Amino acid sequence: MNMNKALLITLVFLMSVPTFAQKKSKEHLKKEASVKAYIWSEKTDFNSITIPSDLEDQSAVILYREVKYIYNRPHNSIEYTKIEHEQIKLLDQVAVKDFSEFKYQKTEHIQGLLNTFILGVKIIKPSGEEIEIDVDNEAIKEEDENKLAIPNLEKGDILDYYFYSNIIVSENDLYQFDDVEDIVGEHYPILDFKFSLETEKDFFVSLNTYNNAPELETYAALSKENKTRLYGFTMQNVASNDFPRWFYPLVELPAYKFQVLFARTRKHEKKADAFMPKEVTTIKKDINKEEIFNLYEDKFSPFGNLGDVERFLKGKEFTSEEEKVKEAFYFIRHKYFTNYVEAFVVDESKIMYPYGYYKNPIIFNSDEQFIKFFAAFLKDNKIDYEILIGTKRYNGPIKDLLIEDNVDFVLKILTEKPLYIEHFNQFSTVNQINPLLENSQAYALKVVDRKHIEDIQLTSLPASDHIINNTTESIAITLLEDFSGMQIKRVSATTGHNKIEAQKDRLNFYDYIYKDHEKYGTKSVLDKVKKEKDRLRYKKEYKSLIDKQKEKQLEALEKQTASEYELEMDDYTFNVLNNGRFGVEDPLEFEEAFSLKEDLIRKAGNNYILLIGKLIGGQAHIDEEHKQRDNNIYMSYPRSYTNNISLAIPEGYSVQGLEKLNKNVENQTGGFSSEAIVNNNVLTIKTNKYYKNYFEPAANWPDMVAFLDEAYLFYDDKILLKKN
């Protein structure tokens, strides 16, 4: 979803005022009756449905599930309807409990749009008796939602229910509905599934099915006589899926995707952020590169006020174009982002109103805006570039692209060694694009004269490897003299994609914005306050805020580190050594110190057993049930985790059991190795676990399990400190 749409939706919710009167309108009652008649007009012969013997042990089986979307134009409005209809046989008490309470939205006006929600429920007893629930009478109308406790529901019953939701949008020239992407399967197996999409003639539709879902059928096409069309598919015996670890359902399971758009005229059509069929009468099933070209060729003209950037660059010498681009990017990241963070904080905490101190601030509200701005910089500096159009790997390959919202843009700068720039946040660095885009195909919009997009070609997005996406933890252990516990000093360094999460988890804004202010000679907003009395007060309040945030941050960090080891710790300290914000290889480094009680030490006569393996932290465990795997393996990126553990061996003791700590399993998917040596009475253990690829076919799962198991076994490994 792009930023403008997200913003619009947020504002709508902020300003919504429920105004629906308690008493239902005649129209609503009529609608309820017609929906009911429509859905339940055909009587199902439940006796003719038998549950296959292999599904009898399930908690519940969905006998029939239908999902239908309708887009039409009553009078001058635009109407959206979604109907979900399900008949589910409840085979155990847990299913009865799970389906015994419904919560659903209330019918109400939101921003002048009437949102209607209707629930219908019927229970079919094993005898065939059908009991319709009087939802209106039984439901409890609460402030935010309606609640219904389903009466008379028992094991063996079939619950036949529907949710009807309908929104009427008033007169509009262009209306883009939220796209829909869904898999067919559910938590329970489905015997019979039906999907359909009905629209009247003024709607532009992109729609297709994926991953062995049946081809779309045309149930009714538009014609002179026929003003509505109906497309869809049916599917039988859809298995449930328990969504294993490392899995992208939309890439592998039967699914459907669509986007519907209303545009009054050609002119408005052009404004849409969507891939649309040329003719309103056709259904668009896929997007070719020409269509992508057509949509984007005019959207990325270089544009922006480069005054600040020019002033920054003036007089600076760069050894290469690459260096210049990098420096400019980091300057922009600060000037138009981290430079505002403090303002946001003081405003949010009501310390002062800061925005008057920023004159005509430049703010990028979308990826497009940033790209246009950066393109303007590149154009000015006569540096060539391309705009790459990719999609995150969990959406499926770019050739299957249908939904515009699934598109991501990357700037490829054609310096001697190409540079890639994408995300724009406080941690973004040059050459670090979203890992979910990496190693996938994309389209390159070819820019001529650094201004005009004149061609499009298929290309590949770069990949990273497990060596750069690394976390290294150096852990120094000191045992207490009486073996009642240990003290640990840990220095962590992360690079590549491993760094991104770590930065979000470990750093707070004050850990980097002041370094940026210093580097770029910008002022803290508090220093811009002219009146001394006010400034001093704001600073005092700001300091109180920071003190409190640091207190909370330390608590959260301690909790996080403790959870990595699944142990309780004391005397925790944390210190950032390097914030890692200037390059993929620039590491985030921090040091921690803490003490652990006796949890890792076992007394064994005069000797001690040390549960040393636990110091590499909790390891992924594949239980027996999941050692068989049918689904392919989809991971975010190749990565590695290195541990350097050192232990000063207490005087009078020697270490036994080192041979068991030497392990090495390596194969095409990754590996785990560990090596333990004693040198100068210091035990050093080095472990390395790595995942080589983004993707593994299911056939490689045993290889992955091999090294995952080895690491898991290491986690439980011990050494003996034997008294000499």
Partner 1 sequence: MKKIFLIILLLPFIGYCQKKIDPTPEDISKAKELRSLYDEEDIVLLESDNLITFSIEDNKVAVNNYTKEHLMNINSRSDIQKPVFYDGESEIQKFQFYYRNKKEARILSKDVSYTDNDLFHNDARVKYANVDFPTQGYTYFFESIKHTKDIKYFTSVYFTSEYPSVSRKIVVEIPDWLNVELFEKNFENFDIQKTEEQVGDKKIITYTTANIEAYYDENSSPGPSYIYPHVLLLAKDFTNKGEKQILFNETKDLYTWYKSLTEDISHESELLNEKVTALTKDATTDEEKIKNIYYWIQDNIRYIAFEDGIAGFKPDSAESVLTKRYGDCKGMANLAKEMLVIAGFDARLTWIGTKRIAYNYSTPSLAVDNHMICTLFKDGKKIFLDPTEKFSAFGEYAERIQGKQSMIENKDSFLLEEVPTSTSKKNKEYFLFNASIVNEEIEGQASRKYQGESRADFLYNFNNLESNKKQEALKDYLARNNRNIFISDIETSNLENREAEIDVKYVLKHNKAVSSFDNEMYIDLDFYKEFDNYTFEERQTNYNFAYKKDVITEMRLKIPESYTVSALPESFSVDNANFKISISLQKETDFIVYKKEFEIKNATITTSDFEAWNDAITKLNAIYNEQIILTKS
- 472-511: which residues touch partner 1 (CB under 8 A)? none
Among 153, 190, 332, 371, binds partner 1 (CB under 8 A): 153
CB 433 to partner 1: min, Å? 18
- Assess 425 for contact with partner 1 (CB under 8 A): yes
- Assess 260 for contact with partner 1 (CB under 8 A): no
Q: Give the separation between CA 702 and CA 339, rounded to whole angstroms.
A: 50
- Assess 541 for contact with partner 1 (CB under 8 A): yes
- Using CB under 8 A, which of the segments 94-102, 162-170, 245-253, 677-685 binds partner 1? 94-102
- Assess 449 for contact with partner 1 (CB under 8 A): no
- Using CB under 8 A, which of the segments 57-65, 262-270, 297-305, 397-405 binds partner 1? 57-65
Query: Per CB under 8 A, which of residues 562..581 are in contact with partner 1?
Result: 568
Query: Per CB under 8 A, which of residues 189..228 are in contact with partner 1?
Result: none
Helix (H) or strand (E) holding 165: strand 158-169
Query: Per CB under 8 A, which of residues 300..319 are in contact with partner 1?
Result: none
Among 224, 350, 382, 530, binds partner 1 (CB under 8 A): 350
Pair 167, 80: CB distance under 8 Å: yes
Burial class of residue 581, CB neighbours in 10 A (0-12, 13-18, 19+): buried
CB 58 to partner 1: min, Å? 5
Q: Give the separation between CA 692 and CA 145, rounded to whole angstroms.
A: 48
- Assess 602 for contact with partner 1 (CB under 8 A): yes
Q: Quick one: 6 or 463, whose CB is closer to partner 1?
A: 6
- Using CB under 8 A, which of the segments 54-62, 197-205, 387-395, 688-696 binds partner 1? 54-62
CB 215 to partner 1: min, Å? 32
- Return the closest-CA partner of residue 383 out of 327, 305, 299: 327
- Return the closest-CA partner of residue 157 out of 201, 94, 203, 91: 91
Q: Give the separation between CA 436 and CA 408, rounded to whole angstroms.
A: 10
Q: Quick one: 203 or 714, whose CB is closer to partner 1?
A: 714
Pair 516, 334: CB distance under 8 Å: yes
Pair 607, 720: CB distance under 8 Å: yes
- Nearest 5°: the CA angle 370, 311, 323 is 65
Among 149, 220, 239, 577, binds partner 1 (CB under 8 A): 149
Among 32, 35, 39, 58, binds partner 1 (CB under 8 A): 58
CB 54 to partner 1: min, Å? 10
CB 606 to partner 1: min, Å? 9
- Assess 657 for contact with partner 1 (CB under 8 A): yes
Q: Give the separation between CA 673 and CA 315, rounded to whole angstroms.
A: 51
Q: Give the separation between CA 514 and CA 462, rounded to whole angstroms.
A: 33
- Using CB under 8 A, which of the segments 170-178, 213-221, 422-430, 486-494 binds partner 1? 422-430
Query: Per CB under 8 A, which of residues 611..640 are in contact with partner 1?
Result: 621, 623-625
Helix 532-565 vs helix 339-348: angle between axes, to the nearest 10 degrees?
100
- Assess 554 for contact with partner 1 (CB under 8 A): no
Token digits of residue 352: 């002062």
- Assess 88 for contact with partner 1 (CB under 8 A): no
- Assess 609 for contact with partner 1 (CB under 8 A): yes
- Assess 33 for contact with partner 1 (CB under 8 A): no
- Assess 57 for contact with partner 1 (CB under 8 A): yes
- Assess 244 for contact with partner 1 (CB under 8 A): no
Pair 325, 419: CB distance under 8 Å: yes
Among 27, 84, 132, 142, binds partner 1 (CB under 8 A): 142
Helix 321-333 vs helix 367-380: angle between axes, to the nearest 10 degrees?
140
Q: Quick one: 314 or 533, whose CB is closer to partner 1?
A: 533
Name the 3-class secondary structure at 326.
Answer: helix
Q: What is the DSSP letter of 498?
A: H
Pair 570, 487: CB distance under 8 Å: no
Q: Quick one: 19 or 425, whose CB is closer to partner 1?
A: 425
Among 28, 46, 70, 92, binds partner 1 (CB under 8 A): 92
Residue 701: CB partners within 8 Å, gap ≥ 6? Answer: 627, 629, 633
Which own/partner pairs from 376-382 qualify as long-range (CB within 8 Å, at least 24 positions apart)? Answer: 376/302, 376/303, 376/304, 376/306, 377/304, 377/306, 377/309, 377/328, 377/332, 378/302, 378/325, 378/413, 378/450, 379/302, 379/450, 379/451, 380/306, 380/310, 381/321, 381/324, 381/328, 382/450
Q: What is the greatest pairwise CA distance in the chain?
A: 98
- Assess 356 for contact with partner 1 (CB under 8 A): yes
Name the 3-class secondary structure at 505.
Answer: helix
In the beta sheet, which residues pair with residue 525? none
- Using CB under 8 A, which of the segments 279-287, 410-418, 515-523, 714-722 binds partner 1? 714-722
CB 374 to partner 1: min, Å? 15
Among 27, 84, 154, 454, binds partner 1 (CB under 8 A): 154
The phi and psi torsions of 52 (rounded to 5 degrees) equal -55, 145
Total of residues contacting partner 1 (CB under 8 A): 73
Among 111, 223, 234, 544, binds partner 1 (CB under 8 A): 544
- Assess 372 for contact with partner 1 (CB under 8 A): no
- Assess 12 for contact with partner 1 (CB under 8 A): no
CB 23 to partner 1: min, Å? 21
